[in-house]
Amino acid sequence: MNVPLPILFAVFILSNISVIYYLLRKYLRKKHYLKIEIQDFQEKINILNTENKQESKNKFGLEEKINRYRSLREIVEEIDQQLDIEYIGESLARIAFTQIADAKGTCILYLIDNNTQKLSIFKTKKENSTLVIKAKEGDIFDLWVLRHANPLLIEDIKKDFRFDLEKIEKQHERPVSSLISSPLISEHRFLGILRIDNSSPEAYLQDDLRFLTTICDLGAVAIENAQLFQRTKDLAIHDELTHLYTKGYFLDRLKDECKRGLRQDTVFSLLMLDIDFFKDYNDKFGHTSGDIVLKNLSNVISNFLKEYSPIISRFGGEEFCVILPSRDKNTAYKIADELRQKIEKAKIILRKHETHVTVSIGLASFPQDSTNADELIRKADKAMYEAKNKGRNQVCCI
């Protein structure tokens, strides 16, 4: 049976179209699956990239932590054996400024002033060396740390509800946007504050505060040891009652001044003071009143002579010795006589009675009278007894 050619051709075309359609569907389906697989692979790549970035970040953070805490050993080695508070304070400020702040912004070490019990700037490190820090006793943030005795992290001052922004702006001429601060506490004793601040917000992380706190924990022990050592040294060279130098320390300083005078060809004068009729005060008012007289007199001497950079000692029971650097005999005589008058006018209250004391003063000068410390003491002492023999309440020199 012969099939017409047009029909055969139509059948051929239809069959080819079916094949092409099938192949096209298969291709499109495969392309779709490939696209899905590509997307899936891309998603996995993105996840891996994110994980790699996070791993790199974690690795960097871990390396930074390792480096920081490795530096703790160096910090301990650097300050542990030190008893010089200046050196310790400088080291703590430098370490915090370089290790945490990367030498950016400002680092301030405050210590508690034992007399006022207020914060006082002890050491600073600044990115801008010309910057002047005006809050010498701390600002609102330092007082917060002092009051709460806790570390403080501020990521952005403008967003921190704990502090009054207007007060902050009034207190600060330098821009501060973020800061970390930690107290220095040893055995429940508040010693000071170590603080770092920056003009940019979010300059510090919680890890930075943790590291600063660790530095402060180590530093507090070192500072307290240094302060105790300094206090011990002060007790060894200062009279317990008057807080003036002891006789032994004064004689050492006098010998040093003589050596320096010979080496540098300088002058100085030596005053020896003795309270007139001191025994009468003890007999009339008691030995406690005598102590009051000695304390008052030491304060008058110290306050009146402070502009002359004196070295003052309680030399004996009621005797005082003073070195006046760079003062010749004539100048020293005028100063001594003014001091005598100041002492005579000073009021002392003993058992609700107002009284006054006078002193006899002997004067000797280096090198005019002697270049030997013992000889200067002997001549000043001789001059003082001459003042007493002449009627007391006067200044004499040999």
Report which secondary-structure segment, H or E, holds 397.
strand 395-397
CB 204 within 8 A of CB 198: yes
**pTM for the complete prediction?**
0.63
Please give the Cα distance from 360 to 263 (Å, whole number).
Answer: 32
Q: Is residue 191 part of a domain?
A: yes
Range scoring the smallest mean pLDDT among 66-70, 188-192, 329-333: 66-70
Same domain, 276 and 159: no
Q: What is the pLDDT of residue 171?
A: 59
Per DSSP, the residues of 46-72 read HHHHHHHHHHHHHHHHHHHHHHHHHHH
**What does the mean pLDDT of the chain come to?**
87
For tokens 């301030």, the residue is: 108
Same domain, 263 and 332: yes
Same domain, 296 and 382: yes
Q: What is the pLDDT of residue 57?
A: 64
State the pLDDT confidence band at 69, using cuts at 50, 70 and 90.
Answer: low
Q: Is residue 20 part of a domain?
A: no
Kind of pairing between the strands at 348-350 and 353-355: antiparallel
Q: Is residue 242 part of a domain?
A: no
Q: Which residues pair with 279 in a beta bridge?
A: none
Q: Which range of residues forms the domain containing residue 375?
A: 247-397
Q: How far is CA 55 from CA 58, 69, 207, 244, in A?
A: 5, 20, 18, 64
Range scoring the smallest mean pLDDT among 233-242, 308-317, 358-367: 233-242
Same domain, 159 and 226: yes
Per residue in 115-160, pLDDT (tens digit) is: 788 999 999 999 988 888 888 888 989 999 999 999 999 999 888 8
Cβ contacts of 345 within 8 Å, gap of 6 or more: 356
Q: What is the pLDDT of residue 52?
A: 72
Nearest Cα residue to 278 out of 387, 363, 358: 358
Per residue in 376-398, pLDDT (tens digit) is: 999 999 999 999 999 999 999 97
Same domain, 201 and 283: no
- Looking at the 3D structure of the chain, how many domains does it have? 2
Q: What is the pLDDT of residue 150?
A: 95
Please give the Cα distance from 20 to 14 (Å, whole number).
Answer: 10
Same domain, 196 and 269: no
Q: Is residue 67 part of a domain?
A: no
CB 151 within 8 A of CB 183: yes
Backbone dihedral region for residue 2 (phi beyond 0: left; psi -120 to 50: alpha; all else: beta): beta
Same domain, 216 and 128: yes
